Amino acid sequence: MSALWNGATQLLFKRNVNFSIRGRSKVPPVHNEPFLDYAPGSPERINLRTALKKVSSECPHIPLVVNGREIKTGIVGKQQRPDKHQQTICEFEYADHATIEEAIQGSLKAKKHWETMPIDERLSIFLKAADLLSTTYRAEACAAVMLGQGKTVWQAEIDAAVETIDFWRFGCKFAEEIYNVQPPENVKGVWNRTEHRPLEGFVAAITPFNFVAIAANLPSSPAIMGNVVLWKPTESAMLGAWTMFRILREAGLPDGVIQFVPAKASEFAKQVTQSEHLGGLHFTGSTAVFEDLQKMIGQNMSHYRSYPRVVGETGGKNFHFVHESADIDNVVHNTIRGAFEYQGQKCSATSRMYVPNNLWPSIRERLVEQAKTIKVGSSDDFTSFMTAVIHERSFDKIQSYIQKAKESSSCKILFGGRCDKRVGYFVEPTIIETTDPDFVTMKEEIFGPVLTVYAYDPKHYTQTLELADSSSKYGLTASIFARDRDAISTAEEILRNAAGNFYINDKCTGSIVGQQPFGGSRKSGTNDKSGSASNLMRWVSVRSIKESFIPLKDYRYPHMAVETSDEENDKAKHQFA
C-alpha cells in the first residue's frame, strides 16, 4: 500500500498536478491604482525626468525571447520618436520562420507545467508584476511610452502605469471569481465540479501601438488563465512592450509561457493561423486587419485541433451627442479632452459631434477659444497637452482627411488644419464644421486629432439620434450630454447598439479597468470586454465533472418494479413467454 501510495504521489508531482496542502487562498483585495499627479517638485516628477534622460540616451537593442533564450536573427527594425523622428528610441529583432516555429513548439512544452501550476502561484506572478510596475519601474515605463509612443506625462501615467497595473491586478481578481463559479446544485450522493481548463494549443496575441496597457494585457489575460502565448508587439510601440515583458519575467513568469516574438505582421499572421495548434487569437487593432485575420482562420478551419477562440477589439467612430438641455461648459471641456488627448489616437476618441443649432453658436465659440489654448509640443515638455502622431503613415492619412474637408463645399475648418512633419509628426487639433452628416469625416475612422461637428435642428432630436446610430459601421463609444431626463432615456434607447461603452454627461474616452469594462460590437469588435471577467472567460474551456458517491446496485428504475395485481404487467409478461 505504502509503495503504491509513494508511486502515485511521485507521479502526481512529476506531472505537476495541481496538488496543494495549503488549502484555498484568496487574492488580496484589489483597487484601482491611484494616479500620481507629477506636480512641480513632486518626487514622481523628479524620477520621471531622470528616467526620460536615461531612456532617451540608451537606445537598447531588443532581442526576441523564446523559451527564455534571447535570440537575434539579424533582421533588425527601429522604433523612432514620433515627436523627433530622427531619434531612434530602440532597435529590435524580427523573428524568422524558424524562430516562430520554435516559439510555438516551446510554448506547447511550457504549457504542461504552467497549466497545472497551483493557481495562487500563477496569480502571484501577475500581482508581483503589478507591484513592480507601481514602484520600481513606474518612471521608466512612463518614459518609454512618452518618448516611444508620443504620450504626454498624464497620458503615460494613464497607460503605462495605472491601466497596466489595473489589468494585472484585476485580472487576478477576476480569475479567482471565475474559478469560484461552481455548479449551484448537487443532488444527494453527488459532487459536481467545474474545471476551468486553459485552451488546448497556444494563443497568438497581436497588439496595437496606442496603449501599452492593451499590449501587455493581450498576452497576460490568457496567461493568467493558464494559457501559453506568442506575443507579437507592433514596431511603433516596441520599447513599451519590452519594458512590460521584462517586468513579467522579473516577477517570475516561467520561460516559454509568453514568447516575445516581434515579427513582420503578415508573416507572423500566416504562420500562426496555419498552425494546427492555434487555440486562440487575442487581437486589438484596426477593423481591416482583424477581418483579414478572421478570413485566414476561416481558410484553415479544417486543419485545427479545436475551434480557435477569436477575440478582437477594433476601430471606432465615436461621438458626443448634445441635447439642448446640456451644460455647455461640460460639453466643451469633455469634447476637447475626448477629441484631442493623445492626439485623438484612442479607439474611443471623440471624432464626430451632433449639436443642436440653437446651442451651436455658443458651443462653437467656446470650443475654438479652448482649442487655441492647447499646447502641442514634444512629449518630454511637461506643459504639452498634445504631441505628435505615431508615424508618417498615420500623419499622411490624417492630413488627407483634413485636405478632403478643405476641398469640400459642405465643410469649414473652424480651427487647426495645419500639419508639419519636418521634425516630428505634428497635426494641429482640428475642428471641422459640416452641413453634410454623411461627409467622410463623419463616417470613417481617422485616428488623429480631427473632430467634425454637425449642427442639427432640435425639433428633430430623435431623427438625429437615429442618424448618429446609422452613420458609421462602428459601435464602440458614445456620449449623451443633457440635463433633461427624458432626453437621456430616449438617447439610451435609440443608441442601444451604437456603442458598447455609453456615457452620460461625460467624455466618450477614459474607461477604467474594473469600472467600465471596455469594447464595442458591430465593426468595433467581438465586445468581449477587456477589464472584466468576460474577457478572461474566453480563455478557458470548461470541463464539467460529476462524482457519484453511492454505488449503483440495479440498472432498473423504480417505476419498473412489478405489481402483482397489475393485469397490464401480467399481459406484457405473457407476450414474451
Ligand X SMILES: NC(=O)c1ccc[n+]([C@@H]2O[C@H](COP(=O)([O-])OP(=O)(O)OC[C@H]3O[C@@H](n4cnc5c(N)ncnc54)[C@H](O)[C@@H]3O)[C@@H](O)[C@H]2O)c1
**Rule CB under 6 A: which residues touch ligand X?**
206-211, 214, 232, 234, 265-266, 269, 284-286, 289, 292-293, 313-316, 347, 445, 447, 476, 518-519, 524-525
| Residue 284: CB minimum distance to ligand A1AUG, A | 8
Task: Determine whether 424 is exposed, middle or buried from the number of CB atoms within 10 Å of its CB (0-12, 13-18, 19+).
Answer: buried
436: three-class secondary structure by DSSP? coil
Question: Grid coordinates 443608441 are at which residue?
Answer: 495
429 binds, among ligand X, ligand A1AUG, none (CB under 5 to 8 A by kind): none
Specify the residue, 38 or 518, whose C-beta has the smaller distance to ligand A1AUG.
Answer: 518
| Residue 301: CB minimum distance to ligand X, A | 18
| Residue 33: CB minimum distance to ligand X, A | 20
- Does 347 bind ligand A1AUG (CB under 6 A)? Our answer is yes
Q: Which of 149, 141, 156, 157 is nearest to 81 (CA)?
A: 149
User: How far apart (Å, rounded) are the C-alpha atoms in residues 91 and 60?
Assistant: 6
Which residue out of 163, 313, 341, 428 is catalytically annotated? 313
| Residue 509: CB minimum distance to ligand A1AUG, A | 4
Contacts of 39 (CB under 8 A, 6+ apart): 45
User: How far apart (Å, rounded) are the C-alpha atoms in residues 142 and 94?
Assistant: 25
Q: Which of 126, 211, 415, 539 binds ligand A1AUG (CB under 6 A)?
A: 211
206 binds, among ligand X, ligand A1AUG, none (CB under 5 to 8 A by kind): ligand X
Beta strands in 448-505 (DSSP E): 450-456, 474-475, 477-481, 501-504
Q: Which of 265, 292, 290, 354 is nearest to 522 (CA)?
A: 290
Over the range 151-167, which residues count as b (16 or more CB within 10 Å of their CB) and which as e?
Answer: bbbbbbbbbbbbbbbbb
- Does 348 bind ligand A1AUG (CB under 6 A)? Our answer is yes
511 binds, among ligand A1AUG, ligand X, none (CB under 5 to 8 A by kind): ligand A1AUG
Position of minimal CB gap to ligand X:
285
Task: Count Cβ atoms below 10 Å from residue 360 Cβ, excluding itself.
Answer: 17
- Does 334 bind ligand A1AUG (CB under 6 A)? Our answer is no
- Does 535 bind ligand A1AUG (CB under 6 A)? Our answer is no
| Number of helical H runs and strand E runs in the chain | 18, 23
38 binds, among ligand X, ligand A1AUG, none (CB under 5 to 8 A by kind): none
* Chain Cα centroid distance, residue 55: 26
313 is catalytic: yes
Provide the residue type at 43 as one letter. P
Provide the residue type at 263 as one letter. A
Question: What are the distances in angstroms from CA 338 to CA 61, 314, 348, 453?
Answer: 35, 18, 8, 14
- Does 225 bind ligand A1AUG (CB under 6 A)? Our answer is no
76: three-class secondary structure by DSSP? strand
- Does 351 bind ligand A1AUG (CB under 6 A)? Our answer is no
- Interaction residues for ligand A1AUG, span 503-522 (CB under 6 A): 509-511, 518
| Residue 94: CB minimum distance to ligand A1AUG, A | 25
State the Cα torsion 247-53-237-140 to the nearest 10°. 20
Backbone angles phi, psi at 544, to 5 degrees: -95, 130
Q: At what angle do helices 485-494 and 461-470 cross, to 10 degrees?
A: 30
Specify the residue, 206 or 258, whose C-beta has the smaller distance to ligand X.
Answer: 206
| Residue 501: CB minimum distance to ligand A1AUG, A | 7
- Does 155 bind ligand A1AUG (CB under 6 A)? Our answer is no
Part in contact with ligand A1AUG (CB under 6 A); list of ranges 131-139, 344-352, 461-469, 536-544: 344-352
509 binds, among ligand X, ligand A1AUG, none (CB under 5 to 8 A by kind): ligand A1AUG
Q: Please answer whether residues 334 and 563 qualify as being in contact, where contact means their C-beta atoms are separated by less than 8 angstroms.
A: no
Active site residues: 313
Residue numbers at the binding site for ligand A1AUG (CB under 6 A): 210-211, 346-348, 509-511, 518
